[in-house]
C-alpha cells in the first residue's frame, strides 16, 4: 500500500484509577528509554559500529606480506609476466584445462592467492603440496583462494570452458591488506535491497546508504544491478572496487541486461523486454525478502530513460511479488514476498534528507558522504562526467517513502525506522523500540494496551 495509508491506533475512553497509574509508569519509562536512545544512538548492541564489535572479538594478526619474486610457468609457453604487473587491462587467456604453475622464492610460502578474472569463471582447480581445492564456485571476478598450511608452489588449472586472467597476487600468512577483496556470497535475506541501474549509480544517487548501513551498522545490504558492463571490461572491476571501499562484503548481483543509453522512458521500453525485466525484479524481491527496497527517481534523475525504466518495472514488481499467481515458477522457488517499505530517490511525498555527515567509526571518522565520494572515485572511467552531490537531481540525500505496509515514518531520517534487522541466519526478530525521539510513545499508543 502507499505510505500515507495509515491506521488510527487510538484507545478507548474511561479507565480505572489503577489503569491510569500503570499508564503513567509505562509512559514515563518509555519516554526516558526513548530519550536515552536518542541521546546515544550507539548505546545498544544492534547499533554499535561493526568495527567496535570486531575489535572485541577478532585476535590481532600480523600483516600478511605479499610474496615477491614469484616464478610463473605457463603450459603453452605464453609469457605470464603480465599477470604480475598489477594492471587489470593486461590479460592472459587460458585454454580449457590449461595449467599455470607458481613457485615462491626459497624460504617463502604462499598462504593464499588473489586472482583477478576478466569475466566470471566456472570452477577451477588449485593444486599444492597440501592437496587439491576447487575454487570459482561463486563466479567472483575478484577471488581470494586460501591455501591452508601454506605452500612453496601452486598450480592453477583453468576451468573446462577456459578463462581470461588479469592479475595474480600471492600473500604469506597474516592479516590481508584492506584492498584484497575476500567476498562472501550474496545475502540470503536482506535488510536493505539497493537497486542501481548502472555501475556508479550506487554512489551517485544512493550516497551514504552503503557506508552507513552496511559498513557502520553492519546491516545486511544487498546490491543488485539492473544492467551489466561486460562490453566495457574495466567497469566491472571499478564496480567491485567501489563496493569494497564503502564496506560491502557480500557479492553483488549483476543484471542480465546490457547497458544502453536512453533519454526517455518510451525509448527505453523499446530497448528491453519489459516483462522479462519485471520478472527479474520479482525474483530479487522474493529471493532476498528485503525489509526495505531503495530505487531510482521516477523521472530518472537527469532524465536517463533506463533509470526511469528500472523504477517503472520495480513499481510493477512490488505489486506482483506478493501474488503467487505472478511469476509462478519464482513463487515455487522462493515463495512470495510483500516488501514492508520502499524508498525512491527524490520522491516528493514523505520526503526526507538523509544525514550523511555523521563521522563513522568504521571508516576512521570519515562521513558517509565522504565515503560515497571515495567509492565513486574507484569509477575512474566515469569521473570526468559525474560527482557525488548534495543538490538538485543528483542530491544523494533526498528520498521519499513511496510504499509502506505500516504508514508513513514518524521520525524520518532512517530507512529502517520501525523495522528490526534480520538476525544472523536470515530470521526476523521482533521490532525493537525506535531510537529517534519520543513521538511513538504518545498517549493513544500506550493507552491502547489497557
Is the four-CA dihedral 274, 280, 284, 286 of positive or negative sign? positive
Q: What is d(CA 373, CA 385) in angstroms, rounded to the nearest whole number?
A: 14
- This prediction has a pTM of 0.82
Same domain, 277 and 312: yes
Q: What are phi and psi of 89, to 5 degrees?
A: -85, -15
Burial class (CB in 10 A: 0-12, 13-18, 19+), 397: buried
> Is residue 56 included in any domain, yes or no?
no
Across 261-278, average pLDDT: 97
User: What CATH number is associated with residue 256?
Assistant: 3.40.50.10320
Q: What is d(CA 123, CA 132) in angstroms, rounded to the nearest whole number?
A: 13
Same domain, 429 and 439: no
Per the model's pLDDT, the better-predicted residue between 27 and 367 turns out to be 367
| pLDDT tens digits for range 305-318 | 999 999 999 999 99
Q: What is d(CA 252, CA 255) in angstroms, rounded to the nearest whole number?
A: 10
The cell numbers describing 72, all together, are: 610463473
Same domain, 294 and 320: yes
| pLDDT tens digits for range 111-158 | 999 999 999 999 999 999 989 999 999 999 999 999 999 999 999 999
> Is residue 7 included in any domain, yes or no?
yes
CA dihedral 257, 262, 268, 270 (to 10 degrees): -100
Whole-number average pLDDT of the chain: 85
Is the predicted pLDDT of residue 39 greater than 70, yes or no?
A: no
Neighbours of 439 (CB within 10 A): 11
> Is residue 55 included in any domain, yes or no?
no
User: What CATH number is associated with residue 133?
Assistant: 2.60.120.260
State the DSSP string of 78-97.
---GGGGSS-TTS-EEE-TT
> Is residue 54 included in any domain, yes or no?
no
Q: What are phi and psi of 214, to 5 degrees?
A: -85, -50
> Is residue 66 included in any domain, yes or no?
no
Same domain, 348 and 334: yes
Residue among 196, 402, 414 at smallest CA distance from 315: 402
Q: What is d(CA 267, CA 248) in angstroms, rounded to the nearest whole number?
A: 33
| pLDDT tens digits for range 382-426 | 988 999 999 999 999 999 999 999 899 999 999 999 999 998 655
> Is residue 89 included in any domain, yes or no?
yes
pLDDT band, residue 62 (cuts 50/70/90): confident
The cell numbers describing 273, all together, are: 523486454
Q: Which runs of consecutive H residues, i.e. helices, occur in 356-405?
A: 368-377
- For residue 145, give its domain range: 71-171
Same domain, 97 and 143: yes
Across 367-395, average pLDDT: 96
Amino acid at each position: 500500500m502507499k505510505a500515507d495509508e495509515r491506521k488510527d491506533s487510538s484507545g478507548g475512553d474511561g479507565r480505572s484509577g489503577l489503569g491510569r497509574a500503570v499508564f503513567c509508569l509505562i509512559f514515563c519509562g518509555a519516554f526516558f528509554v526513548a530519550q536515552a536512545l536518542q541521546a546515544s544512538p550507539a548505546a545498544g548492541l544492534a547499533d554499535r559500529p561493526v568495527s567496535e564489535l570486531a575489535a572485541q572479538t577478532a585476535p590481532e594478526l600480523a600483516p600478511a606480506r605479499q610474496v615477491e619474486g614469484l616464478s610463473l610457468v605457463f603450459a603453452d609457453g605464453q609469457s605470464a609476466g603480465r599477470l604480475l604487473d598489477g594492471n587489470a587491462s593486461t590479460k592472459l587467456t587460458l585454454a580449457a584445462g590449461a595449467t599455470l604453475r607458481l613457485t615462491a622464492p626459497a624460504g617463502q610460502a604462499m598462504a593464499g592467492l588473489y586472482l583477478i578474472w576478466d569475466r566470471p569463471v566456472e570452477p577451477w582447480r588449485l593444486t599444492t603440496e597440501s592437496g587439491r581445492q576447487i575454487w570459482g564456485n561463486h563466479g567472483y571476478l575478484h577471488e581470494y583462494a586460501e591455501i591452508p598450511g601454506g605452500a612453496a608452489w601452486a598450480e592453477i588449472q583453468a576451468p573446462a570452458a577456459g578463462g581470461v586472467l588479469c592479475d595474480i597476487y600471492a600473500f604469506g600468512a597474516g592479516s590481508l591488506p584492506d584492498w584484497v577483496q575476500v567476498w562472501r556470497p550474496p545475502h540470503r535475506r536482506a535488510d536493505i535491497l539497493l537497486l542501481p541501474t548502472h555501475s556508479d549509480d550506487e554512489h551517485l544517487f544512493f550516497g551514504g546508504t552503503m557506508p552507513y548501513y552496511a559498513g557502520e551498522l553492519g546491516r545486511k545490504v544487498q546490491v543488485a544491478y539492473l544492467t551489466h558492463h561486460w562490453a566495457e571490461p574495466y567497469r566491472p572491476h571499478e564496480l567491485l572496487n567501489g563496493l569494497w571501499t564503502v564496506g560491502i562484503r557480500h557479492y553483488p548481483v549483476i543484471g542480465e541486461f546490457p547497458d544502453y543509453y536512453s533519454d526517455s522512458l518510451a525509448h527505453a521500453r523499446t530497448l528491453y523486454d519489459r516483462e522479462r525485466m519485471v520478472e527479474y525484479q520479482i525474483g530479487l524481491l522474493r529471493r532476498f525478502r528485503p525489509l526495505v527496497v531503495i530505487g531510482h527517481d521516477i523521472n530518472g534523475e537527469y532524465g536517463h530513460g533506463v533509470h526511469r525504466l528500472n523504477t517503472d518495472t520495480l513499481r510493477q514488481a512490488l505489486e506482483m511479488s506478493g501474488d503467487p499467481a505472478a511469476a509462478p515458477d519464482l513463487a515455487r522457488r522462493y515463495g512470495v514476498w510483500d516488501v514492508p517499505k520502499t524508498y525512491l530517490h527524490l520522491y516528493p511525498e514523505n520526503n526526507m534528507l538523509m544525514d550523511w555527515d555523521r563521522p563513522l567509526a568504521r571508516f576512521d571518522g570519515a562521513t558517509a558522504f565522504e565515503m560515497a565520494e571515495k567509492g565513486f572515485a574507484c569509477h575512474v572511467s566515469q569521473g570526468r562526467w559525474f560527482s557525488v552531490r548534495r543538490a538538485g537531481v543528483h542530491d544523494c540525500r533526498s528520498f521519499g517513502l513511496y510504499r509502506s505496509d505500516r504508514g508513513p515514518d514518524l521520525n524520518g531520517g532512517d530507512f529502517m525506522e520501525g523495522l528490526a534487522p534480520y538476525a544472523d541466519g536470515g530470521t526476523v526478530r521482533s521490532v525493537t523500540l525506535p531510537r529517534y525521539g519520543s513521538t511513538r510513545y504518545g498517549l493513544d499508543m500506550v493507552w491502547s494496551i489497557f
